[in-house]
Amino acid sequence: MKINILSKVLVNIGTFFICFVRMSSSSSLPVAAVCQMTATPDKEANFSTCTRLVEQAREGGACMVFLPEGFDYIGSNREETLQLSESLDGDIISRYSHLARKLDVWLSLGGFHERGHDWKTDRRIYNSHIILNGQGELVSVYRKAHLFDVELTSKGVSLKESAFTVPGPRLVAPVQTPIGKVGLGVCYDLRFPELSSALRRHGAEILTYPSAFTVATGTAHWEVLLRARAIETQCFVLAAAQVGAHHAKRTSYGHALAVDPWGEVTGDCGGSDEGLTLVQIDLQRLRDVRRDMPVQQHRRDQDFYCSLD
């Protein structure tokens, strides 16, 4: 089914906005909401912000809502980051489970500060991407594999995620959701095409990279990387994002994006405000792109790509 795009509208709602595409009333395509927010160390305020975004997304017809990395909080230093962390059975995930169940909506919670398995001995955490279904049940957990240890002195960027975070041990299989099969990544994972290719081989139709990109790296690389992942895998790419100043030491780029399998940007939340973009997920569009340019069929076997080794 082709989307009948009549207009793109920007609606101000307090400090939030919803950017959406108005479609034909006969369309029955599922709708996803891609959100951006400005998390701080205040977990209660962050939960209130996310609740409003999820409620607005549901009112807009979304059956699945994507929240960014650090949706629970962004700490101002290592000790605060560790102190505020929780386990999967803690209060924060319990509250989001209740929210999903109350609104009957799937949630992608990207970048939860999950206390590691050896928390009592090493006080280290995972950066975990959690999927909850419409009954509030935990469907999948992916723990970020690639940690952001970067020192860009000329850009004023200095972050060492491995100082307090444990890298995840494995990928997880794409999750069947109301919008299609979703493959999970987190932020810096976006820079590693091997990850997205593996998810595509295992049936992913949508890739998602909840993120908190710095302003310097976001300005240079954010959109081009997301579009590249969409083009090479012929998947939809949904990337919720942090935006603005979290505290005195950290600011995020924003521009939460939705990209279609041809690489076209279909939603952009901009670089200044909290809000969301609503996008229809047309899997027939995906099938058409893959049929017309059958990239997967043209791939050589794995030994060919390792032949230089």
Residue 260 in 3-state DSSP? coil
**Are 273 and 15 contacting, i.e. CB atoms less than 8 angstroms apart?**
yes
Measured distance CA(180)–CA(163) in Å, rounded: 36
Residue 61 in 3-state DSSP? coil
Specify if 221 maps to a domain.
yes
Residue 237 in 3-state DSSP? strand
Specify if 307 maps to a domain.
no
Q: State the pLDDT at residue 38.
A: 98
Specify if 1 maps to a domain.
no
The tokens describing 62, both together, are 């979304």
Quote the number of domains for the chain: 1
The tokens describing 103, both together, are 């609104």
Specify if 235 maps to a domain.
yes
Angle at 184 between CA 273 and CA 145, to 5 degrees: 100
Specify if 304 maps to a domain.
no
Specify if 4 maps to a domain.
no
Q: What is the pLDDT of residues 32-80, one digit of tens each?
A: 999 999 999 999 999 999 999 999 999 999 999 999 999 999 999 999 9
The tokens describing 196, both together, are 């997205």
Measured distance CA(256)–CA(272) in Å, rounded: 11
- By annotation, the residues acting in catalysis are 69, 144, 187
| CATH number reported for the structural domain that contains residue 251 in this entry | 3.60.110.10
DSSP assignments along 88-100, one per residue: TTSHHHHHHHHHH
Longest alpha-carbon distance in the chain: 57
User: What counts of helices (H) and strands (E) characterise the chain?
Assistant: 10, 18
Distant-in-sequence, close-in-space partners of 112: CB < 8 Å, separation ≥ 6: 71, 72, 92, 93, 127, 128, 129, 130
Backbone angles phi, psi at 70, to 5 degrees: 75, 20
| Domain assignment of residue 272, given as a range | 11-19+28-292
Q: Please, how many CA atoms are within 13 Å of residue 85, restricted to the half-sphere of its CB?
A: 25
Distant-in-sequence, close-in-space partners of 180: CB < 8 Å, separation ≥ 6: 30, 205, 206, 236, 281, 283, 286
Specify if 3 maps to a domain.
no
C-alpha dihedral over 261, 262, 264, 267, to 10 degrees? Answer: -10
Q: State the pLDDT at residue 77.
A: 93
In order along its 309 residues, the chain shows pLDDT tens digits of: 333 333 333 344 444 555 544 343 336 999 999 999 999 999 999 999 999 999 999 999 999 999 999 999 999 999 999 999 999 999 999 999 999 999 999 999 999 999 999 998 999 999 999 999 999 999 999 999 999 888 887 777 777 899 899 999 999 999 999 999 999 999 999 999 999 999 999 999 999 999 999 999 999 999 999 999 999 999 999 999 999 999 998 999 999 999 999 999 999 999 999 999 999 999 999 999 999 999 999 999 989 999 998
pTM for this entry: 0.91
Q: Tell me which residue of 25, 63, 30 sits closest to 280, measured CA to CA.
A: 30
Specify if 207 maps to a domain.
yes
